[in-house]
Structure 1
Amino acid sequence: MLFTLMMLVAAFAIYKFFYPTYTYRYRLTVNIEADGKLHSGSSVIEVIWYAHLLPELVSFSPELRGQAALVDLGERGVVVATLTADDWGWHNSNAGWGAFWLVPRAFGVRDSNGGLSKLANLRGKRELVLDNLPRLLWFSNPRDPTTAKTILVDDIASVFGSSAKFAGASVEITSDPLAINIRESLPWIRSLENKPAGEDRIYLPNKLSIGRYMFIGDAS
């Protein structure tokens, strides 16, 4: 029995050596200033990259845990830094990146495969530049998903008033625990989670479609 167990442990160790898993966890923070007050939203996000047995087909694939960062602007609604950056039509460079890519771009890790081991050993914090921001989605009424609109940081003053401005965003490597509480602010997410695959999206007249994985990681 002991010999069998040792063989299984050895086989697993060999497998992980040739087909490793790379994991990193970071805190995303987004800041918006309005009426002289700073409004901040943050969330802890975990990214896991798995190596595959057939790298000629797919070398690595990712999973995402955690939730989107949400900035509460009171009567102005909420702004959500979505986890995914689906193609919502034309956008410029500050319209958004998915949660998989913010940290590699912020820390200068450009090699999509060879750089994965570096991601797992990162430390510290980086401010996000304008061409490396998450996709922002504004809900004028967070309890009504049909009020969703995409928003660029350049548009914040025109949408929320001249006193409002984008006040920066950052990513920081962390070991803080993950938390999933965004359903409290966006309660309609539960209805999406109860629908079968293929029907779990809301399609809006402005050609915007929203789904659960924009707000809660696919592995959460």
Structure 2
Amino acid sequence: MAFAGGRNVMRTLLIAILLLVLLPTLALFGFILSRDVFYVVDDYRYRLTVNFMVDGKPLSASGVVQEIIHKPPCILLEQTCGRVAIKGDAIPVPFPNGKVAFVLLQVVDGHRITNGEYASHALPTGAPTGKMSAPLHQEFEVSAVSLPNIVYFANTSDPYSMTIIDPENIDQTGGPGAKYLDATISATDEPVTRVISKYLPWVSTFKSRLDPAQTDFSRYVQMQNLAGYLRRDDL
């Protein structure tokens, strides 16, 4: 009888411990999940247009991206303080010489790691909400700081052949007569642009096929992030 009573006590203690661990964990998970529903601050689409001159002739490329801003209160984990959800593709820039450059979805450094800068930072916001306040189709200049990187694949079948091109050196890709002019952004109600898979058919499956055993860890992380710069579908 005493043995049975001891087992009941142990079972009760075990259940209590599990509840103490599980309930806060589930509550935290529920909070993080609910931020996508209850803490959406803004939701809009924008068209980014990048302008070049090639042998005296204008060349422009553009694409539409959807962006949702989440800003829940900061509790426990830094990543719960807010995030930017994006749906869109990098912008292909086909040059007359047959080469194609791509304007990424966000700004990255020389190691292909994002610094959190987006072209949408050029759009005006209103006080006190901080929501995007640009009228539809009104263009705003994108500064060099907010311009997403321009990249080029020496071999479009090889994701590892990507190089980052300085806009001032776009002639290295577009030819001697190619020159970067500027970039503009405007709020829009147009559908999101989805065309990059025509140029880079591996973009949707690349991340799932990455093998960490085939390269060093830092290179693996860089290439894992690459898919996120070329195509995003966070929504």
Q: Distance in 2 between matches of 1:146 and 1:42?
A: 25
CA deviation profile, 1:44-76 (whole Å, cap 9, x unmatched): 111111233655643322211111111111434
Partner of 1:87: 109
Partner of 2:52: 32
2:189 aligned partner, one-letter code: S
Distance change in 2, residues 1:51/1:204 (3 Å): closer
Consecutive unaligned residues in structure 2, runs of 5 or more = 1-34
Partner of 2:95: 73
CA RMSD of aligned residues (A): 3.8
> Residue 190 of structure 2 is aligned with which of 158, 176, 192?
176
8 Å contact from structure 2 (residues 91, 103) kept in 1: yes
1:47 aligned partner, one-letter code: E
Distance change in 2, residues 1:149/1:84 (3 Å): same
8 Å contact from structure 2 (residues 70, 84) kept in 1: yes
Using the TM superposition, give the Cα deviation of residue 219 of structure 1 relative to its aligned residue in structure 2, in angstroms.
1.4
Structure with more helix by fraction? 2
Runs of 4 or more off by more than 6 Å in structure 1? 15-18, 196-199, 201-205
Partner of 1:8: none
Partner of 2:9: none
Q: Answer yes or no: is 1:122 the counterpart of 2:139.
A: no
8 Å contact from structure 2 (residues 99, 174) kept in 1: no
Using the TM superposition, give the Cα deviation of residue 83 of structure 1 relative to its aligned residue in structure 2, in angstroms.
1.3
Distance change in 2, residues 1:158/1:31 (3 Å): same
8 Å contact from structure 1 (residues 143, 185) kept in 2: no
Q: Distance in 1 between matches of 2:36 and 2:89?
A: 28
Distance change in 2, residues 1:53/1:128 (3 Å): closer
Alignment of 1:104-119 (within 5 A): 104=121, 106-107=122-123, 109=125, 117-119=130-132
CA deviation profile, 1:174-217 (whole Å, cap 9, x unmatched): 01011322101111213315437979x99999x97462111111
Q: Answer yes or no: is 1:216 the counterpart of 2:231.
A: yes
Partner of 2:18: none
Partner of 1:9: none
> Residue 186 of structure 1 is aligned with which of 183, 186, 200?
200
Secondary structure of the residue aligned to 1:52 is: coil
Using the TM superposition, give the Cα deviation of residue 160 of structure 1 relative to its aligned residue in structure 2, in angstroms.
3.9
8 Å contact from structure 1 (residues 40, 72) kept in 2: no
Q: Distance in 2 between matches of 1:64 and 1:174?
A: 15
* Count of residues in correspondence between the two structures: 193
User: TM-score if structure 2 supplies the norm length?
Assistant: 0.66
CA deviation profile, 1:120-172 (whole Å, cap 9, x unmatched): x3222112233331111012443443432111112123554431100221111
CA deviation profile, 1:81-133 (whole Å, cap 9, x unmatched): 1113333249xxxxx976x63222x2355x9xx776322x3222112233331
Q: Distance in 2 between matches of 1:143 and 1:16?
A: 36
> Residue 159 of structure 2 is aligned with which of 145, 155, 163?
145
Secondary structure of the residue aligned to 1:213 is: helix
Q: Distance in 2 between matches of 1:180 and 1:203?
A: 31
Secondary structure of the residue aligned to 2:83 is: strand
8 Å contact from structure 1 (residues 77, 142) kept in 2: no
8 Å contact from structure 1 (residues 41, 70) kept in 2: yes
Higher relative contact order (CA 8 A, sep 6+): 1
Distance change in 2, residues 1:147/1:18 (3 Å): closer
- Greater shift, 34-43 or 52-61, is seen at 52-61
2:66 aligned partner, one-letter code: E
User: TM-score if structure 1 supplies the norm length?
Assistant: 0.70
